[in-house]
DNA sequence: GCCTCAGCTTAACACTGTTAAGTGGTGGAG
DNA sequence: CTCCACCACTTAACAGTGTTAAGCTGAGGC
């Protein structure tokens, strides 16, 4: 560990982050399935096997990028929450930022929120299993709670929170999946989707 | 064409539909990437090459199934519209059915509405390029239009229609992607998402 | 009986993720 | 200075993928 760091730092850059940077770029440009370990290896100028010395397999490499996505989203949410506003305004802000960040970084969004990793990665590693992902979800939920009457049941809070998230996610995933469709003015769309979801809260 | 039909009908079943049936089942069970042409071939008792005599490649096979999905959804929508109701009730019905059908047939939904086929299938074959998919979309849009004031602008109609669709799609895709997450009572969730989206229409 | 031809198969190509085994050079010990 | 250990890295291979060129086979028409 320490020896590795010294050896590599003296040269240029930890190989692990070099791999991650290249992978992020390639995945974002071509998509997960289109990037082979060999291609990734040649773009960084190493043999394929070298990657396997830093990541168990292609999935783990992919999950490292997922982790980063969750971290970014969570940080954005925390920043919004740190600036005190009315709960509804904060919630709208969060959702708006969520959608905006997703559209700015479509591949990160896909990786973090649109891939049923359980299907191919047996040991479950979705947002629901990731601490950062879960924290993110809980932040939104507790913000929704603050928008609701104090005597609301847990079930109502859960359902309302999930409804609001579903609306925001629906918009983002549609725009990310079909970017060329005639969606109309995106800003208006964002506003309408988020407002109608949040304003529907009793 | 005709000779093929006679030859095969005399035996049992057109090979093409036999392939489609097997593929639909396998894709639904294991997912697109997990089903190889060889596996598909062995389950129907033929050599892999035989499949290529009926479908240009794996993508085309996949797109045939997509087509079926759109057909099913469109038919359901048409049936709802044929029973005359208030536009808002019809719209809610349509969205509710849309979500329900998606949850009942997750893999068909994924195939039809969650895969950015443009990314891997160059000659564009998403719902936006598919006549049935487009018709489906237009049916919903015209139903939304009927829910709005008669003097609404085209842009408003477009945005409102897309907002409503985003909400329904968001819920469906979330439940399909993360079926094991604690979503709360699904029926309630469906109702809340759809009602708040539709009732937000001015 | 022979020819045609459709339906199907065999065998191969170029790729994929992944790993066992090996290489080469640098750092430290004697 | 020599030798050894170790570690970053590579080569070569395995088993699997989508796909296709070429060949087989057996039934129908002349």
Q: What is the pLDDT of residue B2?
A: 30
Contact check, Cβ <8 Å, A116/B174: no
Q: What is the pLDDT of residue A9?
A: 36
Nearest one of A81, A71, A90, A91 to A133, comparing CA atoms: A71
Cβ contact A26:A43 at 8 Å: yes
CB atoms within 10 A of CB B4: 12
Q: What is the pLDDT of residue B29?
A: 78
Q: What is the pLDDT of residue A107?
A: 76
Contact check, Cβ <8 Å, A166/B162: no
pLDDT-based confidence at residue B8 (cuts at 50, 70, 90): very low
**Chain CA centroid to CA A23, Å:** 16
Q: Is A145 on the interface with B (CB under 8 A)?
A: no
Cβ contact A14:A54 at 8 Å: no
**DSSP letters spanning A123-158:** T--STTTSHHHHHHHHHHHHHHHHHS-TT--HHHHH
Question: Which phi and psi angles does B40 have, rounded to 5°?
Answer: -60, -45
Residue of A nearest to B158 (CA): A184
Q: Which residue is nearest to nucleotide C11 (CA to C1')?
A: B49
pLDDT digits (tens, 9 = 90+) for B112-164: 888 664 444 334 456 777 889 899 999 999 999 999 999 999 999 999 999 99
In this prediction, what percent of chain B has a pLDDT beyond 90?
62
Place of tokens 């937000």: B200
Which of A157, A159, A160, A199 is best to mutate for the B interface (most B CBs within 10 A)?
A159
Using C1' positions and the CA of B6, the closest nucleotide is C6
Measuring CA to CA, how many Å separate A202 from each of A85, A88, A145, A171, B35? 19, 11, 11, 22, 47
Tell me the average pLDDT across B47-65: 93
Strand intervals (E) in B31-136: none
- CB < 8 Å to A112, chain B: none
**In the structure, how far is the CA atom of residue B35 from the C1' atom of nucleotide D16, in angstroms?**
12
Q: Which residue is nearest to nucleotide C7 (CA to C1')?
A: B50
Cβ contact B87:B150 at 8 Å: no
Comparing CB atoms, the residue among A167, A181, A185 nearest residue B193 is: A167
The Cα–Cα gap between A169 and A148 comes to: 21
The Cα–Cα gap between A192 and A163 comes to: 15
Q: What is the pLDDT of residue A116?
A: 60
Strand C interface, B 69-128, C-beta < 7 A: none
Contacts made by residues B108-112, CB under 8 angstroms, sequence distance 24+: B108/B28, B108/B65, B108/B68, B108/B69, B108/B72, B109/B69, B109/B172, B109/B173, B109/B176, B110/B176, B111/B27, B111/B32, B111/B62, B111/B65, B111/B66, B111/B69, B112/B66, B112/B69, B112/B70, B112/B73
What is chain A's mean pLDDT, rounded?
A: 86
Cβ contact B55:B117 at 8 Å: no
- Which positions of chain C lie under 7 Å from any protein Cβ? 6-11, 15-21
Contact check, Cβ <8 Å, A184/B126: no
* A124 has a pLDDT exceeding 70: no
Comparing CB atoms, the residue among B170, B184, B199 nearest residue A158 is: B184
Q: Is B36 on the interface with A (CB under 8 A)?
A: no
pLDDT-based confidence at residue B39 (cuts at 50, 70, 90): very high
CB atoms within 10 A of CB A21: 12
Q: Which residues of A102-136 are buried (b: 16+ CB within 10 A; e: fewer)?
A: bbebbbbbbbbbbbbbbeebeeebbbebbebbbbb
The Cα–Cα gap between A134 and A70 comes to: 9
Measuring CA to CA, how many Å separate B175 from each of A45, A89, A92, A104, B114? 41, 27, 23, 24, 12
Q: What is the pLDDT of residue A126?
A: 64
Q: What is the pLDDT of residue B12?
A: 53
The Cα–Cα gap between B60 and B54 comes to: 10
* A30 has a pLDDT exceeding 90: no
* B49 has a pLDDT exceeding 70: yes
Nearest one of A66, A30, A26 to A44, comparing CA atoms: A26
End-to-end alpha carbon distance in chain A? 54
pLDDT digits (tens, 9 = 90+) for A60-107: 998 898 888 899 999 999 999 999 789 999 999 999 999 999 999 887
Contact check, Cβ <8 Å, B178/A120: no
What is chain B's mean pLDDT, rounded?
A: 86
Tell me the average pLDDT across A127-145: 90
Cβ contact A60:A37 at 8 Å: no
Q: What is the pLDDT of residue A12?
A: 54
Residue A53 CB in 7 A reach of strand C: no
* B110 has a pLDDT exceeding 70: yes
**In the structure, how far is the CA atom of residue B38 from the C1' atom of nucleotide D15, in angstroms?**
14
Comparing CB atoms, the residue among A34, A166, A196 nearest residue B163 is: A196
């Amino acid at each position: 560990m320490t020896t590795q760091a010294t050896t590599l730092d003296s040269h240029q850059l930890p190989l692990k982050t070099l791999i991650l940077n290249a992978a992020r770029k390639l995945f974002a440009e071509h998509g997960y399935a289109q990037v082979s370990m060999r291609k990734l290896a040649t773009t960084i100028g190493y043999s394929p096997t070298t990657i396997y010395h830093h990541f168990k397999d292609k999935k783990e490499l992919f999950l490292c990028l997922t982790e980063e996505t969750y971290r970014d989203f969570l940080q954005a949410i925390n920043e919004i929450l740190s600036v005190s506003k009315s709960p509804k305004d904060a919630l709208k802000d969060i959702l708006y930022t969520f959608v905006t960040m997703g559209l700015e970084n479509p591949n990160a969004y896909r990786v973090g929120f649109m891939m049923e990793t359980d299907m191919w990665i047996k040991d479950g590693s979705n947002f629901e299993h990731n601490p950062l992902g879960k924290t993110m979800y809980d932040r939104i939920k507790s913000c929704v709670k603050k928008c609701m009457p104090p005597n609301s049941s847990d079930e109502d809070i859960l359902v309302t929170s999930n409804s609001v998230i579903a609306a925001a996610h629906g918009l983002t995933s549609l725009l990310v999946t079909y970017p060329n469709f005639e969606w109309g003015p995106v800003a208006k769309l964002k506003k309408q989707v988020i407002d109608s979801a949040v304003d529907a809260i009793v």
